Amino acid sequence: MIKKIALTTGGGDCPGLNAVIRAVVRSAVNFYSWEVLGIQDGFEGLLSMRGIMELTPFRVRGILPRGGTILGTTNRGNPFKYTVKVGDKVEERDLSGRVLENLALLGVDALIMIGGDGTLTIGSELMKMGVNIVGVPKTIDNDLSATEVTFGFNTAVTTATEALDKLHTTAESHHRIMILEVMGRTAGWIALQSGIAGGADIILIPEIPFDLDIVADSIKRREKKGSKFSIIVVAEGAAPKGEHTFFKEYKIGERTVKTLGGIGQYVSDVLSEKLSMESRVTVLGHLQRGGSPTTYDRFLATRFGIKAVDLVAEGKFGMMVCLRAGKIESAPIEEAIGQIKNVDPQGEVVKMAEKLGLNLGREPIV
Ligand code: F6P
């Protein structure tokens, strides 16, 4: 018999998180008459018990169009590998027992976790320890195989497409190569879909290691036909054939953080030298994760939130919500984690791009 549930958001933020929170709260309170607790900053909040708040329909008023998450989130704070400083050393500790104790102290019957692969992996481990978990997948990258689409993706693609529309102006006026580096981790979904929708000439994705001689030839062919500019979309995880992915490193105190990035500048440097053409790079970065979610993402996130509450009511723990053939369904979290969905280099969308005459850094297969 469920009386109280808790809700947490983990991993990188993503447009639509607040829409899920709102849907969960409204359905759990209004329809099932449960109490809902919001846990701040993912597992950090559950470990410290700081900032735990009751979420009521009144409390979630007006959050539907807001980006980010009212609960806060973190990429750190894995309770199974929690990093603590002991003297000069940093050690990893298993604090999962404390999560269980704190959930019991709060009287929580089930925990809805909204997160990506990392958060859902933690959820699956907690499930094995007896916590009633239901998962809601999120990522702008759209790279989770258990669901056809994740909320946040549509907003990110829309932002990237709008950026491409704007870059066309300068590209055409100045006869330049304009390069847009987009997010997506090891998947090329954002690059491919925004590139097609935004009228790019070249799209470079992680799934197709690229050859810049082939790219340069395609730019020369465009020039011969009268187009003196080219627009390139490059996914942050794309890499030249036989070479490694590009990373950037940042120091935060004693910690070193490694993030994908830098491929746009590399492509620009090589092409402007090969072609003696001016080239500029725009790294779209976190603009893709920010701002108000699109109608599509608000609707999908709301559907996911409602289904997550229904799964709790039905006692279907260890499951996550997903979209399959347009319907909201559920899949075991265990099966879903670690299964990354990549672009098929021989698939329909890639072939479509090549039929349109776009160059993907290889000799076209169509
Ligand atoms: O997974 C979402 C994502 O935005 C990726 O596309 C990107 O590589 C990564 O997160 C960036 O993470 P951070 O905000 O920690 O730099």
d(CA 115, CA 100): 19
Decide whether any atom of ligand 1 lies within 6 Å of the 261 Cβ: no
E strand or H helix that includes residue 122: helix 117-128
pLDDT of residue 180: 98
Asked if 206 contacts 235 with a C-beta cutoff of 8 angstroms, the reply is yes
Indicate the pLDDT class of residue 298, thresholds 50, 70 and 90.
very high
What the chain holds in terms of domains, given with CATH numbers, is: 4-151+293-324 (3.40.50.450), 157-289+344-355 (3.40.50.460)
Q: Atom 11 in ligand 1: which residue has the minimum CA distance? A: 259
Decide whether any atom of ligand 1 lies within 6 Å of the 143 Cβ: no
Beta bridge partners of 136: 114
Decide whether any atom of ligand 1 lies within 6 Å of the 186 Cβ: no
Q: How many CB atoms lie within 10 A of CB 173?
A: 9
Tens digit of pLDDT for each residue in 300-335? 999 999 999 999 999 999 999 999 999 999 999 998
Tens digit of pLDDT for each residue in 223-250? 999 999 999 999 999 999 999 999 999 9
- 177-215 burial, b at 16+ Cβ within 10 Å, e below that, comes to bbbbbbbbbbbbbbbbbbbbebebbbbbbbbbbbebebb
The answer to whether residue 13 is catalytic is no
Q: Give the single-character DSSP code of 244.
A: P
Q: Count each helix (H run) and each strand (E run) in the chain, helices first.
A: 11, 15
Average pLDDT score over residue span 204-212:
98
Average pLDDT score over residue span 203-209:
98
What are the C-alpha distances in Å from 117 to residues 110, 129, 144, 180? 20, 19, 8, 26
Decide whether any atom of ligand 1 lies within 6 Å of the 268 Cβ: no
Q: Which of 13, 141, 143, 201 is catalytic?
A: 141
Q: Atom 14 in ligand 1: which residue has the minimum CA distance? A: 12
Tens digit of pLDDT for each residue in 87-110? 888 889 999 999 999 999 999 999
Asked if 111 contacts 131 with a C-beta cutoff of 8 angstroms, the reply is yes
Which of 75, 141, 260 for a ligand 1 pocket mutation test, highest count of atoms within 8 Å of Cβ? 141
Residue 77, pLDDT above cutoff 90: no
Q: Specify the ligand 1 atom closest to the Cα of 116.
A: 1
259: three-class secondary structure by DSSP: strand
Backbone angles phi, psi at 39, to 5 degrees: -100, 125
- 22-52 burial, b at 16+ Cβ within 10 Å, e below that, comes to bbbbbbbbeeeebbbbbbbbbbbbbbeeeeb
Average pLDDT score over residue span 266-295:
97
pLDDT of residue 366: 67
Decide whether any atom of ligand 1 lies within 6 Å of the 74 Cβ: no
pLDDT of residue 86: 85
Distance of CA 199 to the CA centre of its chain: 23
Q: Atom 8 in ligand 1: which residue has the minimum CA distance? A: 185
- 224-254 burial, b at 16+ Cβ within 10 Å, e below that, comes to eeeeebbbbbbbbbbbbeeeeebeeeeeeee
Which of 76, 150, 289, 340 for a ligand 1 pocket mutation test, highest count of atoms within 8 Å of Cβ? 289
d(CA 179, CA 172): 13
Backbone angles phi, psi at 356, to 5 degrees: -75, -10
Write the CB contacts of 230 (distance below 8 Å, at least 6 apart in sequence): 171, 177, 178, 201, 202, 218, 219, 222
Ligand 1 centroid to Cα of residue 273, in Å, is 30
- Mean of the per-residue pLDDT values of the chain: 95
Residue 76, pLDDT above cutoff 80: no
Euclidean distance between the first and the last CA atom of the chain, given in angstroms as a whole number: 57
Q: Specify the ligand 1 atom closest to the Cα of 140.
A: 2
pLDDT of residue 254: 78
Tens digit of pLDDT for each residue in 14-41? 999 999 999 999 999 999 999 999 999 9
Indicate the pLDDT class of residue 365, thresholds 50, 70 and 90.
confident
Ligand 1 centroid to Cα of residue 276, in Å, is 33
